[in-house]
Amino acid sequence: MMTSELVAIDERRLLRRLDDLAQRGALPSGGLYRALYTPAHVAATELYADWCKEAGLLVRRDAVGNVWGRVEGSRGGRAIVTGSHIDTVRGGGALDGALGVVAGLEAVASLVAQFGRPTRILECVAICEEEGSRFSTNFWGARAIADRLEPDEAQRARDADGITLADAMRGVGLDPARASQAVRRDIDNFVELHIEQGPILDESNERLGVVRTIAGTAHLEVTVRGQADHAGAAAMERRRDALLGAAAMTLAIAKVATDMGPPAVATVGTIGVEPAQVNVVPGLARFTVDARHSSAALRLELIAEIAKACKVIGRERELAVDVRTLRDRPPVQLHERTTDALRRAARAAGVEPREMVSGAGHDSQILSAAAHAAMLFVPSIGGRSHRADEATAAEDVVLGTRVLATALRDLAYAA
């Protein structure tokens, strides 16, 4: 282990690059949207690749479009990696994912500039997709690295315009048949800096957190079938309105999570109806549920209670209800000894980091299947995230990046 002094970084370059990256995909209405394999996404990854080259790193785009910057270690072995995702939600802010991408590169570039070649292979990565915003994929980039892609996934997944993920890949010069070549089996540690996205650090006036557990997430699709009818001629008491059923289910789902208590959460984030006409009673409603809990057992209970609540309402209203699991990811414990490197680095800054549970999903939860993963959180002002006004104080961005760099020095420059 090297000295416990905090590593210096180029603070102005870090903050400027966060601003520059936020221009890629900026929306006229505010916020930004960098959806996988769109021009804004390509522009962001090219900018990142240029910055990696500027730092003298070996740059490579892998088979799904994750961009890696690498410096060889004098002793070789398994790699030390830092990074996060470069895609965003629709109307998202400038830091979710982007902070870990820009700060990871800043940390690696600063280390190489100050200490030269590490003993271990040191890499930074801009992961192509985590959010599931364009395709119903989420964690596409990290799953490709961790060998968790599903067979024919690229052929099956379609965006709202019907474009397959495979065609979107071809559009940016990637071959979907080669996606499995993105797998890495040589990563030792993955360390991710991320904004908290919740209010805990901000409200308790703490500046750093380390993540012990990432909550498990289930995504369900609920289809409610009633009877389409004439909006003028069908009397209210004769209707089997699928949307009214779905509305009652939405309220019941929120109540299930509220009654279970924190950290249970459940969100109906999308809903569609058919035939979707102003003068027709909806005959079908289809909505998604995102349900999360950090306890494996309580998460299963939450999912079961949600399904039960929907079925009960369906029976009451004479609606057919089908609940389908789109994906189901259990909670993940991050790696203790790698987290220790972050704790030591935080203490070098005079900060005792708070031990935290993340309700938000992160690339680290997937990469923990392929590497020893750890996460550092900096505060989100007002707990705001997945919205245009997501923000973190500049001094916390700088502190988090310096602590990240210090932990990476610990991991990658050990004698």
| Residues of this chain that bind ligand GLV (CB under 6 A) | 131, 360-361
- List the beta strands (DSSP E) in 249-392: 265-274, 280-281, 284-293, 320-329, 332-333, 354-358, 372-378
> Cβ distance 75 to 164 under 8 Å?
no
**Is residue 151 reached through a cis peptide bond, with omega within 30 degrees of 0 on the bond before it?**
no
Minimum distance from residue 213 beta carbon to ligand GLV (Å): 14
Distance CA 215, CA 203 (A): 21
CB nearer to ligand GLV: pick between 52 and 220 = 220
End-to-end CA distance of the chain: 7
Residue 115 to residues 10, 70, 109, 118, 396, Cα–Cα distance (Å): 15, 15, 10, 7, 24
The residue nearest ligand GLV at its CB is: 361
Of the candidates 316, 309, 310, 222, the residue with the CA atom closest to the CA atom of residue 273 = 222
* Residues in 72-131 that interact with Mn ion by CB under 5 A: 96-97
118 binds, among ligand GLV, Mn ion, none (CB under 5 to 8 A by kind): none
187 dihedral zone (left: phi>0; alpha: psi -120 to 50; beta)? beta
206 binds, among ligand GLV, Mn ion, none (CB under 5 to 8 A by kind): none
Quick one: 337 exposed, middle or buried, by C-beta within 10 A (0-12, 13-18, 19+)? exposed
CB nearer to ligand GLV: pick between 166 and 360 = 360
Minimum distance from residue 196 beta carbon to ligand GLV (Å): 12
CB nearer to ligand GLV: pick between 184 and 194 = 194
Site for Mn ion (CB under 5 A): how many residues? 2
Distance CA 235, CA 150 (A): 47
DSSP 5-70: PPPP--HHHHHHHHHHHHHTTB-TTSSB---TTSHHHHHHHHHHHHHHHHTT-EEEE-TTS-EEEE
Minimum distance from residue 360 beta carbon to ligand GLV (Å): 4
Distance CA 365, CA 371 (A): 10
Minimum distance from residue 133 beta carbon to Mn ion (Å): 9
Minimum distance from residue 250 beta carbon to ligand GLV (Å): 19
249 binds, among Mn ion, ligand GLV, none (CB under 5 to 8 A by kind): none
Minimum distance from residue 361 beta carbon to ligand GLV (Å): 3
CB nearer to ligand GLV: pick between 131 and 241 = 131
CB nearer to Mn ion: pick between 365 and 406 = 365
CB nearer to ligand GLV: pick between 190 and 413 = 190
**Residue 241 in the binding site for Mn ion (CB under 5 A):** no
- Does an H or E element contain 79, and which? strand 79-85
Token pair of 31, please? 């916020």
390 binds, among ligand GLV, Mn ion, none (CB under 5 to 8 A by kind): none
Q: What does DSSP assign to residue 411?
A: H
DSSP 88-146: --TTB-SSTTHHHHHHHHHHHHHHHHHH-S-SS-EEEEEES--S-SSSTT-SHHHHHHT
Burial 107-134 (b: 16+ CB within 10 A, else e): bbbbbbeeeeebbbbbbbbbbbbbbbbb
361 binds, among Mn ion, ligand GLV, none (CB under 5 to 8 A by kind): ligand GLV
Minimum distance from residue 287 beta carbon to ligand GLV (Å): 17
Minimum distance from residue 119 beta carbon to ligand GLV (Å): 34
CB nearer to ligand GLV: pick between 245 and 359 = 359
CB nearer to Mn ion: pick between 290 and 301 = 290
Minimum distance from residue 348 beta carbon to ligand GLV (Å): 29
Q: How many residues does the chain have?
A: 415
CB nearer to ligand GLV: pick between 314 and 379 = 379
97 binds, among Mn ion, ligand GLV, none (CB under 5 to 8 A by kind): Mn ion
Minimum distance from residue 97 beta carbon to ligand GLV (Å): 8
CB nearer to Mn ion: pick between 195 and 289 = 195
Binding site for Mn ion (CB under 5 A): 96-97
